[in-house]
Structure 1
Amino acid sequence: MDEPDPRFTLANERTFLTWLSTSLTLSAAGIAMAVVPQDVFVPWVRTLLAVVLVSLSLVAAASAYPRWRRIQRALRRSEPLPPPALAPVFGYGVAAVAVVALLLVLFAR
């Protein structure tokens, strides 16, 4: 196996760290949603949104290292990089939470 260009290895590492910081952000957002005052959102919806955000956080954290490893292996073997399979999950998951929260803000009063 050849050593990849260090710039690619470092970019892969930065991406790994970004997945972890995204996980922390999603977790913080879930915790924040859980402690929103009771008069802002319906309690079960608030709990649902918090669970979705923290679940997305778990998936991001758990998938960060395996993705880093797959990309590093592909770089060393000069193979095509694997696609970001979970990107739609995060994009649509966060968008769904935002839509529900927006609807509650607009129509719950």
Structure 2
Amino acid sequence: MSGALGTETDREPDYRFTLANERTFLAWIRTALGLLAGGVAVGQFYSAGMDPVIHKAIGALCAVLACLIAVGAFRQWRRVQAAMRRDAPLPRPPLVTLTLTGVCLAALLSVALVAV
């Protein structure tokens, strides 16, 4: 909708959509917290006689991925909220690709850890 000066007018979206957007944000935050907990666990608890470098690499990867997902979740929440207010199409989430790539990389490192 255009105003007198050609600027878009924001409107308050239906509260159900706002709450759904918030639930999605919180789901991404839970994913980030799970990755962070897993990263700390695998980075700290390793069997004697095993190379701790791979454990530390998996732990660091999980922690970095958790941080990226948390920041990305907040950015996506804001972008979706702004799109709903403008009645615009919802933006695509880059978090899906980021999460898939990071988890697959951590899984490959875990396979290397088990194989050693």
Distance 1:40 1:71, change over 3 A: farther
Residue 59 of structure 1 pairs with residue 68 of structure 2:
yes
Task: Note if 1:47 corresponds to 2:47.
Answer: no
The percent of aligned pairs where both chains have the same amino acid is: 39
Call closer, same or farther: CA 1:41–1:55 in 2, change over 3 Å. Answer: farther
Moved over 3 A (4+): 38-41
Which deviates more from structure 2 when the two are superposed, residues 36-45 or residues 17-26?
36-45
> Who wins on radius of gyration, i.e. which is larger?
2
Unpaired stretches in structure 2, ≥5 consecutive residues: 1-9
Cα offsets for 1:27-58 (capped at 9, x unmatched): 00100111222437421111111100000111
Distance 1:41 1:91, change over 3 A: farther
Greater relative contact order (Cα < 8 A, sep 6+): 1
1:86 pairs, out of 91, 95, 101, with 95
Kindly indicate whether residue 104 of structure 2 is the aligned counterpart of residue 77 of structure 1.
no
Structure 1 partner of 2:19 = 10
Say yes or no: does 1:34 pair with 2:43. Answer: yes
Cα separation, partners in 2 of 1:32 and 1:2, compared to 1, 3 Å: same
Q: What is the number of residues matched between the two proteins?
A: 107
Residue identity opposite 1:58 in structure 2: C
Q: Scaled by the length of structure 2, what TM-score is found?
A: 0.83
2:104 aligns to what? 95
Q: Once the 2 structures are TM-superposed, how far is the Cα of residue 2 of structure 1 from its aligned partner?
A: 2.1
**CA positional deviation for 1:66:** 1.8
CA contact (8 A) 2:35 2:62 kept: yes
- What corresponds to 1:23 in structure 2? 32
